[in-house]
Structure 1
Amino acid sequence: MAKGDRKRALRGRAGRMKGGRGSGRASSGHVRLWGRHPVEAALKNPDRQHRKLWATRDGIDSLDGELPPDFPVEYADVADLARLVAKDAPHQGLVLECEPLDGLFLDDVAKGDPARPVVVLDQVTDPHNVGAILRSAAAFDAACIVTQDRHAPPEGGVLAKSASGALETVPWIRVVNLARALEELAEAGYWRIGMAGEAEETLAEALPSGPVAIVLGAEGEGMRHNITQHCDALARLPISSAIESLNVSNAAAISLYAAATRS
């Protein structure tokens, strides 16, 4: 928005999604987000319930929108905000405390659209990686990401900062049983491709023309055997032999690009 333009109102204390549900729990307790993009996206998300915003004057001025008159804001200096976040976290003058997002069922968002792949993560626990994958999922219009609740990071500031706002826009489905979720995706018409460096086919060769679910495992360990057994095909990225593997978030971004550009 150009400087001087009238800012539109932010949603402020938005109500949580009615009837929210999910197999797993997104987070326990309150979620604390920081940085302009994560905080601004959370403030604009109608499915967030906000509790309190700590901010500098410059932080408030940087927001694309105006807070409601009754929004709970506590002005603070940079040093005070630094004590509310992880060590050396780039809060940019904004720290928001809010409720975790409500859960969704897989079939709420996985509608079998060939243009919108599903990303399934098997025991990817680093919040930086999951946040970066959410950002790529938003960039390539993925339907959702799916994780097993016990082996994935909770919502939080580090993850949200890496996601750069995508935590609020990409559905994140947390399930108790990842293998069962893969079965549900197959029943919904998705071709499930597990990414594995030892696979014979490249991803371009394995991609179908219809709906696809891209399954990625943790770095080093890869997918668990049971998850591999629930894939319809295994595929690899055609990377040079000079390097053993890619970071999982980079692999996700390349896989989503390949799915978006398949003929």
Structure 2
Amino acid sequence: MKNLSDVIVGRNPVKEALKSQRPINKVLVAKGKLSGSLAEICSLARQNGIPVQEVDRTALEKISAEAVHQGVAAYAAAKEYVELEDILARAGEQEPFIIMLDEITDPHNLGAIIRTADAAGVHGVVVTRRRSALLTPVVAKSSAGAVEYVPVARVTNLVQSIKILQENGIWVAGADMEGDKVYWEAPLSGPIAIVIGGEGKGLGRLVKEKCDFLVRLPMQGKISSLNASVATALLAYEVVRQRSSG
């Protein structure tokens, strides 16, 4: 069950949260015809790029506990998201170092990745709006507080975001078991974005095709892939190593 401190319930509370630009992960509305204030809430959410999901009333009752949900609830983010441009601006005169996540769904993995990003000097993390873990209290706790220091951008289209980075002179390396080079043999010392695939599925086809090159982590055991946060840590610190020795 979700932490109730992370849930906003009721039409007026949800509407005011949206109007105040409070960071919201997702809005849930009861299935059925949307009219009046519910329709207004859905419109406000979509205008702000916030996913809206229709659910059964029993689901709303479960997350609302004793509060009256009036057919709507929202999950507040533990930290405000930024834009991709904000991450680029944060790099300033430094060579950008960005981690991009292709549908990482486990909040503990996302938190661990953000913690690694902070330790390795990453300028920001990019996640997708849909089919991805969001900035919940679980993520904040798993990051050991690093979520307060590492900007996280939430984008609609990861392929388009990769293109924007490439247009800004940033090389994009995807982690894939079919990569041409072992990761420590790849050129990772310049302006770089590392793309990590989701648990169990890896990089999507279009994301993989858009990367400038793919790198692999050698696997000698029976398991064919590493945990996403572990793979991120290995690649992030290879960037650190190459930059420090270059």
TM-score (norm 2): 0.65
Q: How does 1:160-171 map to 2 (within 5 A)?
A: 160-171=140-151
Identity %: 36
Contact conserved, 1:135 with 1:164, CA < 8 A, in 2?
yes
> In structure 2, which of residues 71, 81, 84 is the aligned counterpart of residue 106 of structure 1?
84
- Taking structure 1 as reference, are residues 26 and 118 closer, same or farther at Cα in structure 2, changes over 3 Å only? farther
Which of 204, 216, 220 aligns to 1:240? It is: 220
Q: Residues 4-53 of structure 1, C-alpha deviation per residue, up to 9 Å, x if partnerless? A: xxxxxxxxxxxxxxxx89xxx65248xxxxxxxxxxxxxxxxxxxxxxxx
Q: Which residue of 2 aligns with 1:204?
A: 184
The answer on whether the counterparts of 2:174 and 2:196 sit within 8 Å (CA) in structure 1 is yes
CA shift in 2, pair 1:251/1:28, >3 Å: same
For residue 215 of structure 2, what is the amino acid of its counterpart?
A: A
Alpha-carbon distance in structure 1 between the residues aligned to 2:196 and 2:162? 12
Note the C-alpha offset of 1:241: 4.2
* Per-residue deviation, residues 183-226 of structure 1 (Å, max 9, x unmatched): 11101111100000121201122224310000010122111101
Q: Which amino acid aligns with 1:101?
A: K
| Residues 190-229 of structure 1 mapped to structure 2, 5 A cutoff | 190-229=170-209
The alpha-carbon deviation at position 99 of structure 1 amounts to 6.4
Residues 99 and 147 of structure 1, relative CA distance in 2, 3 Å threshold: closer
Which residue does the alignment assign to 1:59? none
User: Offset at 1:159?
Assistant: 1.1
Contact 2:77 2:134 in 1 (8 A): no
| Map of 1:181 onto structure 2 | 161
1:155 paired residue number: 135
Equivalent residues, number: 176
Q: Secondary structure at the match of 1:27?
A: strand
Gaps of 5+ in 2: 1-20, 28-75
Which structure is higher in helix share? 2
Indicate the RMSD between aligned Cα atoms, in angstroms: 2.6
Distance 1:26 1:149, change over 3 A: farther
TM (normalized to structure 1)?
Answer: 0.61
SS in 2 for 1:110: helix
Indicate the residue corresponding to 1:58 in structure 2: none
Q: Contact (CA 8 Å) 1:186, 1:192: kept in 2 or not? A: yes
**Equivalent residue in structure 1 for 2:101, among 85, 110, 121:** 121
SS in 1 for 2:133: coil
1:165–1:232: structure 2 CA closer, same or farther, 3 Å change rule? same
Q: Distance in 1 between matches of 2:24 and 2:117?
A: 18
Contact 1:195–1:215 at 8 Å: present in 2 too? yes
Deviations 1:225-256 (A, max 9, x none): 01111100000123324442110000000110
AA at the equivalent of 2:198: A
2:86 maps to a residue whose letter is: D
Q: Which of 25, 34, 59 matches 1:27? A: 25
Amino acid at match of 1:138: D
The answer to whether the Cα contact below 8 Å between 1:26 and 1:154 also exists between their aligned partners in 2 is no
Counterpart residue number, 2:46: none
Gaps of 5+ in 1: 1-19, 30-97
Given that residues 116 and 141 in structure 1 are in contact (C-alpha distance below 8 angstroms), is that contact kept between their aligned partners in structure 2? Answer: no
Does the 8 A contact of 2:96 with 2:170 survive in 1? no
- Per the TM alignment, residue 174 of structure 1 is displaced from its structure 2 partner at its CA by 0.2
Q: Quick one: higher RCO (CA 8 Å, sep 6+), 1 or 2?
A: 1
